[in-house]
Structure formats: C-alpha cells, structure tokens
Structure 1
Amino acid sequence: MGTLADSIPAAHARSAWAAGIEPLREAFPLHADKLVRAIAYSYIEPLPTPIFIIGGTPTTRDALADALAELAGEIERPHIDPLTFAGVRRAVVPGRPLVLTSAPHVSPRAPLSALDEIEIESFVSFATPLSKASALIIASSQTIQPLSAERSITIELPQRPRSLQPLRSLGSEPAAAGRRIIASYLQQNAPHLDLDPHGINIARHPDFAKPRRLDAAFYLGDTILSTLGLDAPAQPATSWLGEDDQIIWALREAVRYLLANGGELTDNASQTKEWVIGRTDHRYLYIRPTEALPFIRAAHGDPTLSIKAITTTLRRLHLIGTKTGTVTARIGGEPTRVWKIPADREI
C-alpha cells in the first residue's frame, strides 16, 4: 500500500491515535470502534465486504468517508467520469483503498440500488476487481436492501447530527494528520504481526458467511490495535467474534489448557493414562465433553454454557463428523460419550 514512510515511534503513533481517533469516536460513537477495527484488518488482507455509509446528510457522510480514507491510507482519490460500475472496477488498485462519496447512477425503476449491485458482485464473485481493494468505502444517498446491509458493513447515519462541533473537530488538520500517521504506522507494522491463524482463515474464506467473516476481521483488527498499543483490547478478547466462534475459541483454549496441565490424549481405545481427556488417531480427535466443560465455561465466561449448546455449535460449523452430536467411543477401555472431530477440521 504505497511506499513506507520513515519508521514511526510507538509513542508518536499513540499521540496520533488520540488526535485522530478520539474525534472520530466523538462524531460517530455508535460506529467508530467497529470501523477502525475493520480498517486495521485491511492492512493485512482486503476487507471481505464493502463499507457503505448511508443516511445522514452529504456533509456527515463525506466527513466519515474522508476520515476512513485517511485511516485506510488513501494516497489519491480517483476521478471517475462518468461514474459507472465499469469505471469503479477500473479504479481499483489491488491492496489500496478505494473511497467514493457517491455511487453509480441507476434507474429509479431499477429493483436494486447501486449499493446492492456492488454488494452482490462482491458476494457472488471472489474474483471481482472490487474484492482486490484493501477497503472499498462508498458514501451515498442511495438506499440498500436489508440482505445486502447484513452482508456488508453498512453504517446508517441519523438524518441530522446532534452537533456540528464534533464534525469540525473530525475534519480539523490535526485530526486528519493523526489519522494519516496511524495509517503509516499500521502499514509498517500490521503485516508483520503474528496473528491468530484460525481467525485469518475464517476472515478470508470465500465459502464462509459474510457476517462470520466480518466478525473475524473485527476480531483480528482488535488484535492488531491492541498488540501495537494503540487501543485497549476487547474484554473478553474474543467478543468481536460471532457467538459460534466464541464457543469454538473457548473449546480450543480449554483443550490447550488441559493438555498443558496434565490432561492427556490416548492413542488407542484401550490405552489408559492418569487423566484422560480423550483420544486421537490419524482421522479423528475424540474429546470427552464432561472433562472439558468446566474449562470451556471458564474460557468462554459463561458458567451456564451447556454441552448441548457446544455440540450444536460444533455441528452448525461442520466441526464434528456426526449429525447426532456426541457419539460413543472407547477411551481407556471404557465406552464414553465424546465429540468426534475430524482431524482435518481444526477446532
């Protein structure tokens, strides 16, 4: 994404964060945290969906779009004339943000708006040029269908801002300069961080549902910002993930904790050990829910989380190889109920 600027000290970046992001939070308190995490993610992978800014007034829409453009590392905004779908595709530079403050014109009789058309194209075609932009940000007076809004980052602004002063602060030169410094800092550091590979796999996987991919992108963006010392991490750290993935993360953490603290997996049905939490072979991992449940609850933060709820999540995400949930397997020479997880589907 352009040429790296001179190395930016962490303390300088933190000061820039206060100057550039706090006005964004003040002006758009309901949306800022999600958006800055999305933009942070865009420095390691293209966002899985566009960002649409609708509602409000031209002033508020453009103010938010411009602030995000600065944060996303926009170098120069292309002039697309005429503004057509083909022109938008041609304007995409892979790995760089594309920011528009209007959308291509469509006939008033058209069943879908330009935003719907763009969302659908990015949804059905992973190879579209639109998916190559690090972030595709469009502010428009056009409307969007609920399904398209659900599958994208759609920010609907109130018709009138509560006050113009936050917008003035947001658009001030110190705030804009702060966001540009943060962009350079993210550019030079984010690609080199050691991030959760499970989260990356979900966020980039073209076959996963867009809301799930977006939640993983927010989670990774949160990790980027907290690791670089720019913003406090979410509590718990997995709270940006979708509900199902929060459970899977807790299960994974629980199994790791058990194995690190004396829990063992046997290699066959008859082998016994002091504290057996399951067994493994070249095809499956068999985990005893009764052994893991207290630790999953602790990792998840929900003392009422049930084996049934965890099993339902595993089945919904195709992480267990049976439709019935738990199955009977012999562990330590005795039959017991287990989650039978295919070895090629990492929990």
Structure 2
Amino acid sequence: MTPRRIVFVVFDGFQPLDLTGPHEVFHSAGDYVCEIVATRAGPVRSVSGLLVHAVHGVADLDPAGTDTLVVVGGRGVDHAREDAALVAWIAAAAAGARRVASVCSGVFLLAAAGLLDGRRVTTHWAREEQLAREHPEARVDCDPIFVRDGRVWTSAGVTSGMDLALALVEDDLGRDVAHAVARRLVLFLRRPGGQSQFSVALWSRQPATDPVRAAVGAIHADPGARHDIAALATHAGLSPRHLQRRFTAELGVPPAAYVERVRVEAARRALTEGDEPVEAIARHCGFATAETLRRTFHRRLGVAPSDYRARFRSTTGLTGVHDSSEEDASEEGENV
C-alpha cells in the first residue's frame, strides 16, 4: 500500500509540540510519509527557539497529492494568517486533501483559508472567545479535546495534537494499530474528559473584586445549592441587578451559565469517580432531576450521563489512574 502523505504547515513562532507530537504518532504507526512546509524552505524558529528545517516552501511544493493536511498552532499564528501565500497554499492543499486538521490555534489559519464555514470546531480554551468573535461562520466548542466535522478535524492545545493524531491513525488503520502506538508512546488512546477537566478556573476569567469572588466561591463550595441571582447577590452583598452586570463583566459569562458549567463539571467527576446512581448525582449537583441532567449533558457534551460514565469512569477510583483494560495505553497522562 502506498504510504499516506501527511503535510505539516509551520511558521515562525509555531508551538513545537504541535508538530513533533503528531509527527511521532504518525511515524510510529508506519504507513505514513510526513513532510513539512513553510512560507520558505529552510529553518523555521518555534516559539521556544527550537529550529525545524522545512524542506519545502509553498512556492515549490505542489499542494496536490496531500492526503492529510495538518496546520500547527503557536503564538506566531496571528502573523502567519496575514501571509497571503501561505494561506492560499493551505486553501489549495485542502481542496484536494482527504482530510484537513489543525492543532491548537492552527484553526485560525484554517479559518483564514475559508475552511470553517458551518463547521463545528475547537481550539485551545484560551482562544475560544477570540475564535468565536472573529469567525462567527464556525460553531466553536472548546470543551472537547478534538472535534471531527466531516473531513475537518480540529484539536485543543498542545498535547491534544497527539490525541488527534491517534484518532486519525485509528480512522485509517484500525484500533489495534492505534492502541499499539499509544502503548509505545505511553499515551491514552482515549484521554478522559475534555478541556474543562483541567479546572473550571481555566475556562473562565478570574473574578476581580471581592463581591464577585464571594459569589464564585459559594458556587464552587456547593454546586448543588440554590444559586439563582437572588441567592448569589446575598453572598456578594450586592443587588441582583448589580451583581448580574459585574459578574458578567468580570468573568465573561453570566451567573446562570457559570453555575451550569460548574454543575456539569461536578456531575462529570461524580460519574467517573463514584457509583452513585445518575438520579442521585443529578440532585446533588443541582439539576433536580435525571432528565434535566441528561438534557444538559446532551446540549453541552453531546452524550448521555450514563454513556459518559461508561466511557470515562475509572474502575480504580483513584485520581490520575486510568484502567488499562479498557481504552487507555498506560497509567500516566500528559501535562497540558
């Protein structure tokens, strides 16, 4: 079988793990030929100073024949998306490619090339608001580690590129090959949870004033308690109307949306770490009924609570240890 051609797009200021992580996954799987293209052939400096040699420049590499196009991210992406030659080459390569993928903020280059219209996509949680604001044509969902929408695959930050690459390998070569690669590289074949598993504090700004800080603290202290605007205003010592304005201004989301996110995260932890029935978890986490929890999970995560538990629960009950008999390849995850 002819090896599949993977073409990575890099630029000055790229994130090196966005390139080297997926590259190692494809190399370990075999059946792939990996190439690197940049605006010009030669050394390309990453954000950390690591130099990578791009054999090809966009002027000398025919975009035809690309099986999978992978666009990396990094701080330099904002400058790169102003590079007309690079963006045009990405658009041309994507037109004939079987698949198009981005790692982290590389999604902004896909957007610049006009590849996100109507697509559900993800990126690093820190870029969520910017992506949604600048590209309303895309449906931005920054909880998943990676998202597949047709032939367009997008992933979250840094090491999630390896999760994405493993999924692409599994799509091409089957679960056994992907599992063998994951074992070799000491990775999860299916990393538990989404980006919000890395702490609620990451997906929202931090409160700037004591009254809002008090309201946020009350929510986290007991997600299942009553947290309507009147109750939160009592904690904050403000009028409900004043708190609504200040909370939204400081955290970027209104109180009700913040409460729901905290409750969803609490339910996710309960589902994966314990044996309580779904009905009991719904009550303890503030959803009142299992049906309300089910609807919220479907809306936010695209899966039922029972299915989420079946897929992600740890049979050991120990934080940070994942059962190797099911879907992972080791008992160690990566730092994100």
How high is the TM-score relative to the length of structure 2? 0.29
TM-score (norm 1): 0.29
Between 1 and 2, higher relative CO (CA 8 Å, sep ≥ 6) is seen in 1
Larger Cα Rg: Structure 1 or Structure 2?
Answer: 1
